[in-house]
Amino acid sequence: MDNPKKTAVASMDKFELAEDKLFDYLIDKGGLLDDPSSSLLLPASQRRAKLKKEMHEAAEQLDLNLDLAPALRILKEEGASYLDAAKFEEMDAQLDKMPTYLDQLDLTQPAKESLCTSLHISDSTLKSINKVGVAKYDEGNLEGSLSIFGLLATLDHDNENSLYRVGIAAAQLEKWDIALKAFTNAIKLSPEFLGARVFSAECHVRLGQINEAKEDIKEAKRLIEISKPDPIWVEVLTSIEEEAK
């Protein structure tokens, strides 16, 4: 008979395994992964510089204050190592065209559609970007993955899963302010998002915001009661609640 635990682990994608590592950290209070260095290669052309500037401004709408230049560099220079040829070519071509579409946007007016729609970034390319981000996270390149997930969240403001992954990577790097903002935005999009609520409580504890942590813990308990999730969530929440006392 198959071992249910092994079967469950085998079905998890790389990011879910990374999330599991964060569970271990929260429960055992172990050390964090080393913060890898990430070189910044600034775009050479003015159009590329404009892309960086405008994407950064779009990210600021989420109040994440992330540098998206590493994401663009990794996707262009290393993306082929993680994607099949057709997917990489599609992504590469769409990234190359972003400056052209940015030139056509009236950034003084409220956006009428998501940035990925305005920049003609397909769902397939969004999935490819996510795949590279997950791979970088799994490799321990937390800064790189954080930038990539930040790019995803910037391109598609309505994707709570990208925001959640920004939060997970930021928490691993002890960037608690960024993590909290990401989880908060994810909760706004999906109030029933248990993971975002639990880790939001953790961020509040780390920032010394105990009253806010207790509010998140209370809501997480309600969600656990109605959704009956994996018992590990109860264990994680109990650990956080102990710290909030």
- Torsion-angle region of 43 (φ positive above 0: left; ψ -120 to 50: alpha; else: beta): beta
So what's the pLDDT on residue 3?
A: 38
Instruction: Provide the pLDDT for residue 69.
Output: 85
Please report the pLDDT score of residue 82 as a whole number: 97
In terms of phi and psi (left: phi > 0; alpha: psi -120 to 50; beta: otherwise), the region of 2 is beta
d(CA 84, CA 128): 10
Provide the pLDDT for residue 111.
61
Phi, psi dihedral angles at 104 (to 5 degrees) = -90, -10
Residue reference for tokens 């920032």: 207
Distance CA 137, CA 170 (A): 11
Q: How far apart are the first and last CA of the chain?
A: 43
Per-residue pLDDT, 20? 53
In the numeric block, the tokens 């930021």 are attached to 170
Write down all domains in the chain, each with its CATH number in brackets.
38-157 (no CATH), 176-245 (1.25.40)
Per this entry, what is the length of the chain? 245
Query: Containing H/E element for 38?
Result: none
For residue 33, what pLDDT is reported?
26
**pLDDT value at position 56?**
52
pLDDT of residue 50: 53
Series of mean pLDDT values for 10-residue runs along the chain (245 residues): 35 47 44 30 44 52 73 94 97 89 69 80 96 94 95 88 94 94 94 95 96 96 93 91 90
Q: Return the pLDDT at 93.
A: 95
What H or E segment, with its residue span, contains residue 39? none
Instruction: Compute CA 115 distance to the chain's CA centroid, rounded to the nearest angstrom.
Output: 17
Measured CA to CA, the distance from residue 155 to residue 126 in angstroms comes to: 9
Q: Which alpha helices (DSSP H) does 61-122 contain, by range?
A: 69-78, 85-103, 115-118
Is the whole-model pTM more than 0.85? Answer: no
Nearest Cα residue to 35 out of 146, 160, 162: 146
Q: Which of 243, 205, 187, 198 is CA-nearest to residue 222?
A: 198
In this predicted structure, what is the pLDDT of residue 18?
Answer: 46
- Residues 176, 48: Cα–Cα separation, whole Å: 30
Tokens of 219: 């809501």
